[in-house]
A = this chain, B = another copy of it.
């Protein structure tokens, strides 16, 4: 009943070939941008990219228009598209929005989650704990693991548009600037505790508390992230 689905994965799932060239190239380019294969701020050259993907400029331009809709490129008339380059202040803005929206997701999840749902969350956290204690725990935790947790919470909100907005747009944007701070130390143990407290609140159906705890959790992530960015700026200006 009303399952939350990732609509953004139109094509690149297991072996399902794309329906249209524009959609296919859109997925490829989106992943490439988020992965950091395109330098942020770099110009997008239509003839070159069309040749690279083996398509004509028509579908390519449609793909670029979709990227514009996903806020991953900026288009200026008669000047072409550029890969977005997020400044610190813009990353901060996105974190502010995420803080509010994930608070909402938690609030809704606390009202709607079944005991089964909570069990699945606990399982996920248990798997995370095992990973933390393994050698590459830190890396795993902050990369895929943390994201898994937030994904699952958002789907428990049973608000499809909220899911699309957070998981289909904002997360991509944040990953884009996280490429810079790739090896940020993070704080796995602390985050792990916070996750458990959030699940506690959801399990008790305490929507208000779940909201507050999640917002606090994201605020911490925001701070460590901004600090990492500041540090990079300092290194650049001192080493230059």
Contact = CB atoms under 8 A, between A and B. Distances in A.
Interface string A91-109: 0011011011101100010
Contacts of A62: 61-62, 65
A46 to B, nearest CB: 13
A65 B60 CA distance: 12
A159 B96 contact: yes
A78 B19 contact: yes
Interface in A144-181: 159-162, 165
Contacts of A101: 97, 100-101
A227 interface: no
A194 interface: no
A56 to B, nearest CB: 11
Contacts of A69: 65-66, 68-70
Given A62-B62, A65-B66, A70-B69, A23 B96 contact: no
Contacts of A61: 62
Interface residues of A, number: 30
Chain A at the B interface: SS class: helix
Interface in A59-101: 61-62, 65-66, 68-70, 77-78, 90, 93-94, 96-97, 99-101
Nearest to A78: B19
Given A61-B62, A65-B65, A69-B66, A104 B96 contact: yes
A22 B65 CA distance: 10
B108 A160 contact: no
A58 interface: yes
A161 B94 contact: yes
Determine which residue in A19, A70, A93 has the highest number of CB atoms from chain B within 10 A of its CB, and name it. Answer: A93
Contacts of A68: 66, 69
A11 to B, nearest CB: 9
A48 interface: no
A20 B77 contact: yes
A97 B66 CA distance: 23
9 contacts: A22-B65, A66-B69, A69-B69, A90-B160, A90-B161, A96-B104, A96-B162, A97-B161, A97-B165
